[in-house]
Structure 1
Amino acid sequence: MAPRSILITGCSSGIGLDAARTLKARGWRVFAACRSEVDRAARRAEGMEAPRIDHHDPASIDAAVAEVLEATGGTLDALFNNGAHACPGAVEDLPRGALEDIFSANLFGPHQLTRAVLPAMRAQGHGRIVNCSSVLGIVARKWRGAYVSTKFAMEGLTDVLRMEMAGTGIHVALIEPGSITTRIRANSIPHFERWVDWRASARREEYETLLHRLYEEGGPDRFELPPSAVTEKLIHAIESPRPRPRYAVTIPAHGAGVLKRALSTRLLDRILGAS
């Protein structure tokens, strides 16, 4: 019997890499997608197949899915849409291009990839689609408007897809991590430098604090967990006979939904806007 297969995006480091390694050890056939050839070579050296997927390059998505389906004989058991990036900055300082860029990476690319694998899952009568959202897909935080907007959008798109896939054998789930030990902060710096002209901002003095947090290596956040905490939820989402619609990871992620339901918008703004 052929091993179960999964396509994972964003496998250069962090959540995607941990998921790829762990699932390979569990006997899954892992297609660990990365953008750079260096990272792809590293994944191949670990015994994984590593198609190139760049969410900004639609042709790479179609080519990767074709490559995966050719390798498996036309089947795919699971897709984990993990790849994403952030672009910190005040909403008033984010040009249109910044939002177009981050939506391309965090929503449009994953959506195209999902649509590309669904025909094979429909044909085989089963499949798992797992989208990596965030606690910032539940509640908003200052300075994170670009990222928050993509994750709010992913939450809605995933909810609708889950309802539409009911009865097809294809299960759709969201993972909502809080702070996880990854390179997302360091990886956001080039996007910040490309799009945000903070020196010309009306909030220039406030940016001093943001720059300190962005550029200086600090210790882990209070409730930060390793990527393996996300992988644990992913395993349940793709292996359980009855996967949950949502999987919160970290204490703040569990609490965010409760606070959003229990508190007024004004009070929630005051609490979350204080930091």
Structure 2
Amino acid sequence: MAKTILITGCSSGIGYDAAHGLKAAGWKVFATCRREEDCERLRAEGLTSFQLDVADPESIDAGFNEALARGHGRLDALYNNAAFACPGAAEDIPPGALREIFETNLFGLHDLTARAIKVMRAQGDNGEGRILQCSSVLGMVGYQWRGAYVATKFALEGLTDVLRLEMRDTGIKLVLIEPGPITSKFRKNAIPHFEKWVDWKNSARRAQYEEQLLDQLYHREGPAKFELPASAVTQVILRALEAPRPKARYMITTPTKVMGVARRILPDRMLDWVLANG
């Protein structure tokens, strides 16, 4: 039987490419999306797709149970991909915005992870399965205007490190996928959250918003420096799923690899200078 994998956030970008790429590689993919219209589109493209909104506990319960039913009670892998950003200066991010982003980027993700572990513990002599968490270069270093997103990814990295340690006595492997700039709708999808939560016009940093962030959000065209297509992430996901002994972390894109080294060797003040001027 083909191995089964549940993927969240498949409407576009990394999740969309991963769903198609893993299906082509022989996996039985459950490609989930927050909105039913996106699921309908994916089903028309030949994918097995149904709703799963990681910010909604009832949707998590229904979507996870649907995956188990379609996999006849077995789940070989989980790829927690769904996430969003709420850009803005950290001082302008209200508590409600943090609660909302953590609900999707961490709390819902952890709910799915815990459910998957319970199922995977019953598979094989000592449990069997693989859980991949989509982190980011911003799970290793902070960056201006990205405070809310950075906070969720730092938390995800720490939680996954602990889970990886705790799962050492089982056959369940925890892996962090750490992309840098990847072609997607991520920036566009962040705009509604920015407009909902950030009162930039009354911010002490209004001039900086006008000079920097607004242009990045609304007017930037073309790929970012060192940007790679989503297929680059899919290739790494396949390696992480199929390697007998997967790495704890897979860094994707030049910025991620550079920052991985810089985080280890540079003093904090020098790293701050690099990030502020990069």
Q: Same fold (TM over 0.5)?
A: yes
State percent identity of aligned pairs: 58
TM-score (norm 2): 0.97
**Are 2:70 and 1:68 equivalent residues in the alignment?**
no
Q: Which residue number in structure 1 is paired with residue 175 of structure 2?
A: 173
Unaligned runs of 5+ in 2: none
3-state SS in 2 of match to 1:173: strand
CA separation in 2, counterparts of 1:36 and 1:91? Answer: 29
Whole-angstrom distance in 2 between the partners of 1:219 and 1:123: 47
SS of the residue 1:32 aligns to: strand
Query: Partner of 2:51: helix, strand, or coil?
Result: coil
2:267 counterpart (257, 261, 264): 264
**Cα deviation per residue 1:53-82 (whole Å; 9 max; x = unaligned)?**
112111100111111111111100000000
Q: CA deviation at 1:38?
A: 1.1
How far apart, CA to CA, are the structure 2 residues paired with 1:67 and 1:38?
A: 18
Which position in structure 1 is the counterpart of 2:214?
211
Matched residues in 2 for 1:242 and 1:77: separation?
15
C-alpha contact (below 8 Å) 1:43/1:50 kept by paired residues? yes
Which whole-Å CA distance do the structure 2 matches of 1:190 and 1:221 have between them?
Answer: 21
CA distance in 1, matches of 2:156, 2:135: 7
By how many angstroms is 1:51 displaced?
2.3
1:132 aligned onto 2:134: yes
> What's 1:149 paired with?
151
1:158 aligns with 2:196: no
Q: 2:197 aligns with which of 181, 195, 198?
A: 195
| Distance (Å, rounded) in 2 between the aligned partners of 1:35 and 1:85 | 12
In 1, the alpha carbon distance for the partners of 2:39 and 2:50 equals 7
The AA in structure 1 aligned to 2:129 is G
1:142-192 CA distance string (max 9 Å, x none) = 000000000000000000001111121001100100100011100000000
Separation in structure 2 between the aligned mates of residue 119 and residue 213 of structure 1, nearest angstrom: 42
Task: Give me the whole-angstrom Cα distance separating, in 2, the residues matched to 1:274 and 1:203.
Answer: 18
The aligned counterpart of 1:231 is 234
Dislocated runs of 4+, deviation >6 Å: none
1:12 is aligned to 2:11: yes
The corresponding residue for 1:274 is: 277
Q: Which whole-Å CA distance do the structure 2 matches of 1:230 and 1:176 have between them?
A: 9
The letter of the residue matching 2:230 is P
Name the CA distance, whole Å, in 2 between partners of 1:269 and 1:217.
25
| 3-state DSSP of counterpart to 1:213 | helix
Residue aligned with 2:277, SS: coil
What are structure 1's unaligned runs of at least 5 residues? none
Count residues in correspondence.
274
Counterpart of 1:34? 33
Amino acid at match of 2:7: I
1:105 matched to 2:104:
yes
Tell me, yes or no, if the aligned pair for 2:36 and 2:50 is still in contact at 8 Å. no
Structure 1 residue 255, shift from structure 2 partner: 0.9
**Cα shift readout 1:119-163 (whole Å, capped 9, x = no counterpart):** 111101210000000000001100000000000000000000011
Q: CA deviation at 1:47?
A: 2.2
Deviates more, 1:216-225 or 1:10-19: 216-225
* Contact 1:29–1:48 (Cα < 8 Å) also in 2: no
Deviation, 1:217, is 3.6
Distance 1:233 1:27 in 2: 16
C-alpha contact (below 8 Å) 1:62/1:116 kept by paired residues: no
| 2:243 counterpart residue number | 240
